[in-house]
Amino acid sequence: MPNTHDFLQRQEQIIDTTGWAVTHVLPTADDPDTTAPFAYTVGLTAHDYPELITAGLPPEVAHSLLNDLARRVYDTAERFTHGQRLSDLIAGYDAIIIDGQPTDDLLPGLAISRYGRDQIRLQQLVWPDPQGRFPWDHGYNVAPQAQPLIAKL
């Protein structure tokens, strides 16, 4: 199992190569139901972009979606706005971007330790339920703790 130093060194190499890295926070065997899995970018802050975060998705899906978004931000300087609907990210569904601050449930610890809490701006990728409804919509059919939010729309 890699140690923290090796992990951070590898993350640094990825950031140096691509401009950002994706970090995952997963529930532990000791605490499997209290934390939703989430993933976030580290490295976009250095280029004056918000870090990106998403919660409640399988790690490989979250990783892919965040890389797609980060590539748009980093490579083409695309800026997302609070409440922006993205129809070209998840096949057959829209996603929505919301702006907010780190929370106890969605804490991008490595980004904060790298840049400082006062420097971190976050944008969350929010995904819909199978009927296309979002957590703030009536009838949303996913448990609230499955996709904690950094803010409301």
Structure tokens at 98: 């919301």
Which residue has better confidence, 103 or 29?
103
What are the pLDDT digits (tens) for 72-103? 999 999 999 999 999 999 999 999 999 999 99
Residue pair 26/16 in contact by the 8 Å Cβ criterion: no
Per the confidence metrics, is the pTM higher than 0.85?
yes
- Domain extents in the chain: 4-146
125-137 average pLDDT score: 96
